[in-house]
Structure 1
């Protein structure tokens, strides 16, 4: 600054108006007075710390029902200028009944207060600001409802003590830093615990109470409305602002809607708390837009989150939560959570639901008036739609209620192409193609260990024009129609049409007590079938022979088994009782009509009872069984044959494996009783040498036509007799079958060409040894004799030749002339065998 500048400033100051100069002097005097007074006050405070501390504690203690104790006090003048700031060290606040419950309300390393300087000069103590650092606040409510928060006197108590209207000065600001806050309500079994990093609050008072503007930075360790069930927002960061209104007359605190960060998500929070002795009800409203399912679940108590954690949604959802109850009541408050899910992807224990839409609601008061508890808790899913493994479905309302023993219920509906089932059922079990399915089922299921178990269904499943392959037996069905009617007592199966190759089968049936047995004892399941078919080709169902093919599917059904595993176990273990009526029946060369039978299919095989088959002009009554094996299937048959054309009968059964005689050589009508066991391969062929049993037969009006073995032997012995067509009036006998050998019991044959007695062994392989005694007398000479005794006497007159039919080295049967003794020895040998 040069020499000419300063005189100019002085010249300008001298030009100020007089009144302004006077005002400046007054303000400077006031400022100087304040500085001097503040320094004097500071000097006084610094030299009278013990007296001031005693005064402060006495003033506070007069306004509380308890006692505040501070170890020391230091002034911090510049911190709260122009107020006086005091720092209290090691402050302890206890209520009047501390000796009974032993819970200190406040322990603070530093308790800073700012007091009104001018009021202090008048001798009054008015605290305007409180700041607490490194402290513990413990609010306690005992089992009888007493709380150490009663240390704070009510307005009525203050008026009674200070009728002149004086009161403890209103705190305008308060701050908390590194403070542990605990609210332990043992009467209501509630525990709230927070670590408050920073809390800044400003208070405005009026005649009705006060308003607080609070900024919070904290960490929630527990917000347990029921300590038995765990905490809400456990171990979550809290950051946000609160606008709080306290109404002293109504004795309630109202929190206006404000945004609060909990963890990594933002919420809008509002609430109301009644803090009077007669009314301790509260309500909290929470809104979260765009929160992930897992994040929302992690904010809830364990008894709720463990149910919700069974599921997950990939996209954020909108959630609202209302909590209400009584702070002094034991048990949970009312909890009502609502979430809207749109175009989301839902993960469930059994898979994924795509294009998921629903409104989800949780409440712990499912039935009004029955309390807020697990037995009265429920989850509702409204207007549920989605795609499960590409199968679209809808559920109008699904409910999971009673969290102590959870039960799920609802109505499931779906319409979809049948081939979509291939995504849900293992292809090693069932393969679907073509056709449609229409499902409408009401369901009810227990939830055990957080898994849905033993669902009970009622409703309909309709399958139309479907193609299905049952892979373990390689059975294919075309144009299949099925109607499944699930009732409480049974499964009714209606209007089934199966087509496999040329076969068409119509069925209906029922399974009594189906669902109960399905879950508890599938081996006892019996499917009662009524089976009708206009034509059935058995060869197309040979997959039922032999054991089921080994698949990748688990063989034992468990509570966590998949749908494929459960179906596989059911098909393997259940039994099928069929009442069969077939108009036309085909198997290789065998053809029958009007087939009727009762058939039982089980895990081990097939049982046939009271079967009647019309075949070759007669009929067959059959009872039998088929026991399945890996490569061979054992059968047992008890058959009665009446009036069956023997030519067609032998043709149908491939001549029973005989090579020297065929159906072309036989005529007549067969009557027979047979008990036979044997083996059939998995492709339906009779296993050579496997048969055992007995056959009693009676051939009426029989004939042996062009039987080369007999013609070659008789053309020399009987050159003038008709060996091309040998007729029999009546032919009966008994055969014992043992493997490849058939034992022919001694039998008499009376024919148009010759008579003979025979006995021996016929072998399908090697070992044929049949003795024949043939009288050379021409039977035509005795054709007019009717007396049986006379006929028998004349039968063996004349020359009787003895023949032996046996196979040579090539296995061909040859007939040779032998002595009587050789013939008799052969018969005796065959008898002994």
Structure 2
């Protein structure tokens, strides 16, 4: 063996032996001077304690702190002077081990390098007045200041470790409660000129981390484990902590924190947390219960990237801390109360300090969804920035945009209102809505909805519309409808409409909604709109009984209960054989029908005016009409109206021009047919240049009374009459008929089916040349000249009998 190696080994062995001898000596010294060393330790620790410090026992551990001397202090208790009042022990440790610098010990001083605390409880308590049991630690030492020679150098802790330790911060004034069960806390410290640095490993169970104990704890009952780097700067009074990563439960987090211990009136802290690809429910479980309860009403199917900034103070009374949370979501299914959104992507933000200096409570909290894209019931949509503000009374706002095939509306509307096909829909609206039970309720919208070139089947009226375009514009509180083109069969309708105060009435008073329409049409075929005669097919009772906060359900309710005022101008109106031109009308829908006003139209070379009402019922619709007919062609007029239900008297029996005033009630079926025997009312007729052609009752009378006269073609230059209609009975008020064949005075009742009883006074003279007489008095005198027949035509046992009128006076 080389000589130098032998010498080196001897020196090394000597050093080891020397250290062992020193440790043995130190151990023996402590053993035989236990009371003295215990007193020295007490005195050293007591320099920083203003209260009670109790060390139950002390014993050395030779190998535990090698090469330092390790002392185990047992049953260590530290209490402040107010303990008897609040009953919170600052430190209660069964095993408190201290490693002491060996050389310093022989000099008669204590230099602690390592503290190991096991089976202990640390309780930092602050009462409602702000007093803390940490007052046990002296803030300064006047004796040291007055006589620095009596002070010893500050103790610099090199290592520390805790295991099986309960650590509690209970601040009753600031309503904060932190409670951790420390399985292991183990680290090292260095002391540069600026302060200190520490590296440590942490394994704890967070039983409570309540920044506001009134609202509950963050990361409650979550296991925390990670390697920390910490540092303290004496000049700034700040403690910086970072951990990469900290495992909270099963999820890793990147955390950086700053604690500004010098801030007044209380220390301030900032904690930044980053979590990549964490599930929604796992993230929400880490927050306080008041937040978790809200967030758990929702769910996101895929992991998301989350950041969280927590900013607050340990002694604050503002309900903090301030929270700012961000999340990035991509291509996920989002579940919200009552609905599911597919293929959603957005950047989310949560803050509990929406308005600066308004506090950090639910009432000042907000959720923002930025760049939200997704689909709902097959409808793609985007919301550039959607917000939910004030979690106590939530208000949702946002800009909603969507463009899609109009047929996709069928998924949205279901079977309550309409079915769409062809064309496209475009929606661009801003909405504001209450959030009730975490559902959007009664949204108020502004903007526009456009439908282009779409086919609509309007279910409540069984109405099919082709190639339609509609624009709905929400302006202020009003709804403006323009650029509307509807086509059903051969009818084309162009419409402009408006509902004043629409947004206020839509949910709260739909029965007060009045839609004012301006309707223009080049050609209208009324038979294509017969669905409006039948009662409206309503949505299920559960949706129509009361106002709904859901916009789609409420649409059906509004259509059923709202009213419309329509002002029509139509170039041509067709209904079966009826044709009118230049038609105008004012219509007002009511709960039970339609009010008809100011109807005017040209027909059969004449003009019609009408006012009245149509009342809808089950299969039978009642109407009440006041009509003025001016100089219409009788043949065309009766043919157009299907002879008004008359069978024996038809358009084929008539020629000439008719003017009339009517006040009639009656019934019409859902198919648009006049209900037989339903007419009631008064009818005033005025005929000019008329002719009665082949009217069977008169032909029959003519055969009996005037076998040689042509009663099949009777010209009537002028006739004015008054009739009362009662079902299938028409009462003929005394009527003078002056014709080319004979003059007749008629009075009685004409039965459409039975009950006819008509009195006829017929002068037998030939009135063929009466038209040449211009003197009215002479004409009246000649009317009854000669023989006058008094005939009665009446029904008896179902047969018409014609004979002498024995009742004539």
TM over 0.5: yes
- Partner in structure 2 of residue 827 of structure 1: none
Aligned match for 2:50, one of 42, 52, 65: 65
1:192 aligns with 2:210: no
**CA gap 1:705/1:17 in 2 versus in 1, 3 angstroms:** closer
Q: Identify which range, 612-621 or 90-99, moves more after superposition.
A: 90-99
- Partner in structure 1 of residue 238 of structure 2: 252
- Partner in structure 1 of residue 281 of structure 2: 294
Per the TM alignment, residue 82 of structure 1 is displaced from its structure 2 partner at its CA by: 5.4
Aligned match for 1:314, one of 281, 287, 301: 301
Instruction: Give the length in aligned residue pairs.
Output: 806
Aligned match for 1:589, one of 577, 588, 599: 577
1:559-618 C-alpha deviation (Å, 9 max, x unpaired): 864443111011111110011111111122222111111101133211111111222121
Per the TM alignment, residue 662 of structure 1 is displaced from its structure 2 partner at its CA by: 1.0
Please state whether the residue corresponding to 1:539 is helix, strand or coil.
Answer: helix
- Partner in structure 2 of residue 514 of structure 1: 502
- Partner in structure 2 of residue 738 of structure 1: 726
Listed as ranges, the matches of 1:264-275 within 5 Å are: 264-275=250-261
Please state whether the residue corresponding to 2:768 is helix, strand or coil.
Answer: helix
**CA gap 1:564/1:764 in 2 versus in 1, 3 angstroms:** farther
- Partner in structure 2 of residue 108 of structure 1: 93
1:176-215 C-alpha deviation (Å, 9 max, x unpaired): 3333322233443333222223222332333332222222
Partner Cα distance (2:106, 2:80) in 1: 31
Per the TM alignment, residue 814 of structure 1 is displaced from its structure 2 partner at its CA by: 2.9
Per the TM alignment, residue 443 of structure 1 is displaced from its structure 2 partner at its CA by: 2.5
- Partner in structure 1 of residue 521 of structure 2: 533
Contact 1:553 1:565 in 2 (8 A): no
Partner Cα distance (2:548, 2:736) in 1: 70
- Partner in structure 1 of residue 109 of structure 2: 124
Listed as ranges, the matches of 1:433-444 within 5 Å are: 433-444=421-432
Per the TM alignment, residue 467 of structure 1 is displaced from its structure 2 partner at its CA by: 0.8
1:399 aligns with 2:387: yes
- Partner in structure 2 of residue 242 of structure 1: 228
- Partner in structure 2 of residue 831 of structure 1: none
Unpaired runs of 5+ in structure 2?
none
Aligned match for 1:425, one of 395, 408, 413: 413
Q: Identify which range, 230-239 or 364-373, moves more after superposition.
A: 364-373
Partner Cα distance (1:588, 1:477) in 2: 20
1:575 aligns with 2:573: no
Note the aligned Cα RMSD (angstroms).
3.0
Please state whether the residue corresponding to 2:531 is helix, strand or coil.
Answer: helix
**CA gap 1:18/1:653 in 2 versus in 1, 3 angstroms:** closer
Listed as ranges, the matches of 1:60-459 within 5 Å are: 60-73=45-58, 79-80=64-65, 83-98=68-83, 101-143=86-128, 145-153=130-138, 160=145, 163-164=148-149, 166-167=152-153, 169-276=155-262, 278=264, 280-331=267-318, 332-368=320-356, 370-459=358-447
Contact 1:107 1:136 in 2 (8 A): yes
Per the TM alignment, residue 721 of structure 1 is displaced from its structure 2 partner at its CA by: 1.6
Contact 1:127 1:171 in 2 (8 A): yes
Partner Cα distance (1:805, 1:196) in 2: 118
Partner Cα distance (1:253, 1:807) in 2: 117
Contact 2:441 2:549 in 1 (8 A): no
Partner Cα distance (1:694, 1:251) in 2: 103
Q: Identify which range, 541-550 or 205-214, moves more after superposition.
A: 205-214
Per the TM alignment, residue 549 of structure 1 is displaced from its structure 2 partner at its CA by: 2.0
Partner Cα distance (1:113, 1:413) in 2: 68
Please state whether the residue corresponding to 2:282 is helix, strand or coil.
Answer: helix
Contact 2:442 2:549 in 1 (8 A): no
- Partner in structure 2 of residue 618 of structure 1: 606
**CA gap 1:181/1:768 in 2 versus in 1, 3 angstroms:** farther
Contact 1:63 1:168 in 2 (8 A): no
1:301-322 C-alpha deviation (Å, 9 max, x unpaired): 3444444444322111111111
Per the TM alignment, residue 333 of structure 1 is displaced from its structure 2 partner at its CA by: 2.9
**CA gap 1:28/1:464 in 2 versus in 1, 3 angstroms:** closer
Contact 1:243 1:258 in 2 (8 A): no
1:385-444 C-alpha deviation (Å, 9 max, x unpaired): 222222222222333334454333332222222111112111342101111222222223
Per the TM alignment, residue 76 of structure 1 is displaced from its structure 2 partner at its CA by: 5.4
Aligned match for 2:485, one of 486, 497, 505: 497
Partner Cα distance (1:287, 1:173) in 2: 29
Q: Identify which range, 366-375 or 496-505, moves more after superposition.
A: 366-375
- Partner in structure 1 of residue 708 of structure 2: 720
Partner Cα distance (1:57, 1:559) in 2: 78
Partner Cα distance (1:669, 1:417) in 2: 55
1:765-824 C-alpha deviation (Å, 9 max, x unpaired): 222222222222222254433343443333233333333333466x6x635113422x67
Q: Identify which range, 284-293 or 243-252, moves more after superposition.
A: 243-252
1:101-126 C-alpha deviation (Å, 9 max, x unpaired): 54332233443444445544554334
- Partner in structure 1 of residue 747 of structure 2: 759
Q: Identify which range, 181-190 or 79-88, moves more after superposition.
A: 79-88
Contact 2:170 2:178 in 1 (8 A): yes
**CA gap 1:277/1:598 in 2 versus in 1, 3 angstroms:** closer
Partner Cα distance (1:158, 1:323) in 2: 42
Contact 2:691 2:716 in 1 (8 A): yes
Partner Cα distance (1:156, 1:630) in 2: 99
**CA gap 1:241/1:156 in 2 versus in 1, 3 angstroms:** farther
- Partner in structure 2 of residue 6 of structure 1: none
Per the TM alignment, residue 682 of structure 1 is displaced from its structure 2 partner at its CA by: 1.7
Contact 1:438 1:461 in 2 (8 A): yes
Please state whether the residue corresponding to 1:713 is helix, strand or coil.
Answer: helix
Partner Cα distance (1:27, 1:226) in 2: 58
Partner Cα distance (2:240, 2:548) in 1: 49
